[in-house]
């Protein structure tokens, strides 16, 4: 990977923590905001649909949508530890043959990836420095639905992410987190031909679904 941020993701999302995340997903299902996004997508119909899940982590969206009737899923993640866990979990659940995993920076991989009916980025925009390229290349892949979970643009999230970045700097990890302005992200997606059909907030996160 040519991207320093993605190299940081490879070392940040690894080892004990990612395994713990999978155990938590197996025990309790998707976290609240992921569940909201999945439910909003399912409400628009997923039967036979293809999914491209960018930065999918343990693959909650892929597993849940495949089990709800989606046809095929592709995951693209900069962290190889997650991809192994997605495949293990898919094997256990019996849908390994309906998914493909790609390792790397989605922005670099995009030319090689087929468009999908549904594209999701759950807590991914905040892990990438160049949101314009990420949004531009990912909206171009979405035929019908485009779903995101990303931080609200408030003093609280900006301060929290600054604090986390100081910690990352102290432990000499090149990975950084970003609070990209909501109005800029939203404007780019709308300019790509989408309208917003679902929006929900927690104190720090927003869950948004767009339709083309």
Ligand X SMILES: C[S@@+](CC[C@H](N)C(=O)[O-])C[C@H]1O[C@@H](n2cnc3c(N)ncnc32)[C@H](O)[C@@H]1O
Q: Which residues bind ligand X (CB under 6 A)?
A: 6, 9, 13, 34, 54-57, 76-79, 82, 105-107, 122-124, 127-128, 134
Closest approach of Cβ 93 to ligand X, in Å?
17
Q: Contact 150/206 with Cβ under 8 angstroms?
A: yes
Q: Which is nearer to ligand X, 57 or 194 (CB)?
A: 57
Listed residue (158, 157, 211) closest to 189, CA to CA? 211
Q: Which is nearer to ligand X, 48 or 210 (CB)?
A: 210
- 3-state class of 47 per DSSP? coil
Q: How far apart are CA 194 and CA 6, in angstroms?
A: 28
Q: How far apart are CA 95 and CA 25, in angstroms?
A: 17
Listed residue (111, 36, 121) closest to 77, CA to CA? 121
Closest approach of Cβ 127 to ligand X, in Å?
4
Q: How far apart are CA 60 and CA 18, in angstroms?
A: 13
Q: Which is nearer to ligand X, 17 or 48 (CB)?
A: 17
Q: How far apart are CA 165 and CA 170, in angstroms?
A: 8
Q: Which is nearer to ligand X, 48 or 93 (CB)?
A: 93
Q: Which residue is nearest to ligand X (CB)?
A: 55
Q: Which is nearer to ligand X, 50 or 120 (CB)?
A: 120
Q: Which two three-digit tokens encode residue 125?
A: 């925009």
Q: How far apart are CA 101 and CA 32, in angstroms?
A: 24
Closest approach of Cβ 59 to ligand X, in Å?
8
């Amino acid at each position: 990977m040519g991207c320093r941020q993605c190299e940081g993701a490879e070392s940040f999302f690894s080892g004990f923590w990612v395994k713990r995340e999978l155990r938590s997903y197996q025990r309790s299902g998707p976290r609240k905001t992921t569940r909201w996004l999945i439910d909003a997508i399912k409400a628009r119909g997923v039967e036979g649909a293809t999914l491209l899940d960018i930065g999918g982590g343990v693959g909650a969206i892929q597993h849940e949508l495949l089990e709800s009737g989606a046809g095929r899923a592709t995951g693209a993640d900069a962290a190889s530890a997650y991809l192994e866990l997605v495949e293990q979990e898919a094997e256990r659940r019996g849908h390994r043959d309906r998914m493909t995993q790609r390792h790397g920076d989605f922005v670099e991989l995009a030319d090689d990836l087929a468009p999908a009916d549904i594209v999701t980025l759950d807590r991914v925009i905040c892990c990438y420095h160049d949101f314009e390229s990420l949004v531009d290349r990912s909206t171009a892949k979405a035929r019908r639905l485009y779903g995101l979970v990303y931080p609200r643009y408030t003093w609280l999230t900006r301060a929290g992410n600054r604090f986390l970045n100081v910690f990352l700097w102290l432990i000499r990890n090149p990975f950084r987190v970003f609070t990209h302005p909501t109005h800029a992200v939203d404007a780019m997606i709308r300019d790509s031909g989408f309208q917003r059909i679902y929006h929900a907030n927690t104190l720090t996160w927003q869950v948004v679904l767009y339709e083309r």
